[in-house]
Amino acid sequence: MDQATLIIFGIALLAALCFGALGFLFVGGESRSKKRVERVTRAGNARLTSVDGEVDNSEKRRKQMQETLKGLEAQQKEQNKRISLSTRIERAGLDIEPRTFYIASIVAGLVCALLLKISGLSMVIAALGGFAGGFGLPRWVLAYLIKRRQKAFTEEFANAIDVIVRGVKSGLPVNDCLKLIATESPEPIRTEFQGIVEGQRVGVTLEQGLAKIYERMPLPEVNFFQIVLAIQQKTGGNLSEALGNLSKVLRERKKMRGKIQAMSQEAKASAGIIGALPPGVMLLIYITSPGYMDVLFTTTAGNMIIVGGLMWMTIGVLIMKKMIDFKF
């Protein structure tokens, strides 16, 4: 084989190799690219499917939460339509019957009317005083006891939630945490949670027990706690994290409440001085010059002036109270 033949054979071999490489590049690369596109498409479809599943799950969970919140709001509106006297007594922490309260109201009214009559005032003033003593004074005392008990409950409620958070993080079930609060917490937290624990022994659910607590303690803090537990039971989630956030919110509300009270003390002091000034001046004049004030107590016109003055003073005090009563 001469040199020219070898050159031609080598060129042909190189050309065949080049054509083969080009064919493999286009055909094999296309199949590989197709396979890669198919893999990417499958991965994208799987990702979209998972995202769609997560969206569906989040939508289902959101709907469950909305239904739960609607049910709780409807239940609370039904409870707040009319508050009976027995519920008010229960909120105040008193262990008496409504009949006993009515008897005490009648006795207070008669005592006030008798005292005013003995002091020399007219029958009209004595009757008005007896009415105020029988219908106003007992209910004012009851409202004061309710407010004091709710304030004590709010002060210790965040600590009770922290007990549940620490117990859940350490592996205790919620029921054991509630039992711990019912035995170790101060009043009135102890009494309220004892009702939940005793109710669970006879078949009362946790949601019903919390609704009963909210009926006795209609506070935003209790409402938050009830909503968190109700949603966690129906939709799941990290209970310790949710209650930890709730405890933090309650403590921030407590700080804000203290800050608002501190900033509003000046306005409250001014309102107290303005409200106490007219009766204080009247009392000083009566002590220093009794004859100067006799006209108000011995004549019908004077009695009407006293009644009108008391009414205007009451309206003014209520208006000032409304102006300095901050809702938060």
CA distance 182 to 175: 10
Tokens for 114?
A: 């008798």
Compute the average pLDDT of residues 95-109. 88
CA distance 106 to 94: 18
Q: Which residue has the higher pLDDT, 290 or 288?
A: 288
Tokens for 305?
A: 């002036």
Look up the pTM and report it.
Answer: 0.61
What SS3 class is residue 10?
helix
CA distances from 184 to 82, 153, 193, 196 (A): 34, 14, 11, 15
> What pLDDT, in 10s, does the model give residues 33-81?
455 556 645 655 555 454 445 545 566 656 665 665 566 556 555 555 5
> What pLDDT, in 10s, does the model give residues 235-276?
767 778 888 888 888 888 888 888 888 887 887 888 888 888
> What pLDDT, in 10s, does the model give residues 22-42?
454 444 444 554 555 566 456
